[in-house]
């Protein structure tokens, strides 16, 4: 928020400490105070104005909250512990339940005029296909996400 905002009027603020820095090009972790080498971030006074005025954070962090949080190995995701077989079994069970209802409720009117055996076979196939397809689609997405997580935390 621009330092000229009424919210900051009359407040005794350590300007150098609290003005927001423009760290858009920085990567990784910045220790508290390491941002001092960056220029001040500019803010617009109104929505349609150009950003020209340095500003303060809306929610400033106390010294304690500026300290980095170290995430140790015990707190990191462990995708190798994930059981894809167990996951697929659970998804298949749920997908089968949903497919049964969809076929019996939504597909039934389309099969009622068919030969009884053909209709039964079609509904059975639809249940099986829908549940298996949903399971494989979900499993592929979860597997890709697990690979991404594993790559990030190696």
18 and 81 housed in the same domain: no
1 and 41 housed in the same domain: yes
52 and 117 housed in the same domain: no
Instruction: Supply the pLDDT for residue 25.
Output: 78
Please state the pTM of the whole predicted model.
0.54
Per the CB < 8 A criterion, the answer to whether 95 and 135 are in contact is yes
* Total domain count, the chain: 2
Instruction: Supply the pLDDT for residue 16.
Output: 83
How far is Cα 36 from Cα 39, in angstroms, rounded to an integer? 8
How far is Cα 148 from Cα 145, in angstroms, rounded to an integer? 5
How far is Cα 1 from Cα 18, in angstroms, rounded to an integer? 11
Instruction: Supply the pLDDT for residue 79.
Output: 92
93 and 140 housed in the same domain: yes
User: Which residues have C-beta within 8 Å of that of residue 121, sequence separation ≥ 6?
Assistant: none
Domain limit, last residue, from 44, 68, 92 = 68
User: Which residues have C-beta within 8 Å of that of residue 92, sequence separation ≥ 6?
Assistant: 131, 132, 135
Its domain, for residue 32, covers 1-68
Instruction: Supply the pLDDT for residue 67.
Output: 73
> Which conformational region is residue 53 in: left (phi greater than 0), alpha (psi within -120 to 50 degrees), or beta?
beta
36 and 79 housed in the same domain: no
Domain limit, last residue, from 46, 68, 90 = 68
Domain limit, last residue, from 31, 50, 68 = 68
pLDDT in tens, the chain (154 residues): 999 998 888 888 988 888 899 988 777 777 777 788 889 999 999 989 999 999 998 876 677 777 777 778 888 889 999 999 999 999 999 999 999 999 999 999 999 999 999 999 999 999 999 999 999 999 999 999 999 998 887 7
88 and 43 housed in the same domain: no
User: Which among 129, 130, 108 is positioned nearest to 119, based on CA atoms?
Assistant: 108
């Amino acid at each position: 928020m621009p330092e000229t905002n009424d919210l900051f009027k009359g407040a005794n603020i350590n300007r150098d400490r609290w003005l927001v820095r423009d760290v858009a090009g920085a990567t990784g972790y910045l220790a508290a105070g390491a941002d001092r080498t960056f220029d001040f971030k500019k803010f617009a006074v109104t929505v349609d104005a150009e950003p020209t005025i340095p500003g303060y954070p809306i929610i400033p962090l106390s010294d304690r909250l500026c300290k980095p949080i170290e995430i140790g190995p015990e707190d990191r995701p462990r995708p190798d512990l994930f059981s894809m077989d167990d996951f697929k079994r659970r998804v298949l069970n749920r997908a089968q339940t949903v497919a049964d209802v969809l076929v019996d409720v939504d597909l039934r009117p389309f099969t009622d005029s068919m030969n009884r055996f053909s209709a039964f076979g079609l509904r059975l196939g639809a249940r099986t296909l829908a549940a298996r397809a949903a399971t494989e689609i979900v499993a592929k997405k979860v597997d890709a996400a697990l690979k991404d997580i594993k790559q990030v935390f190696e």
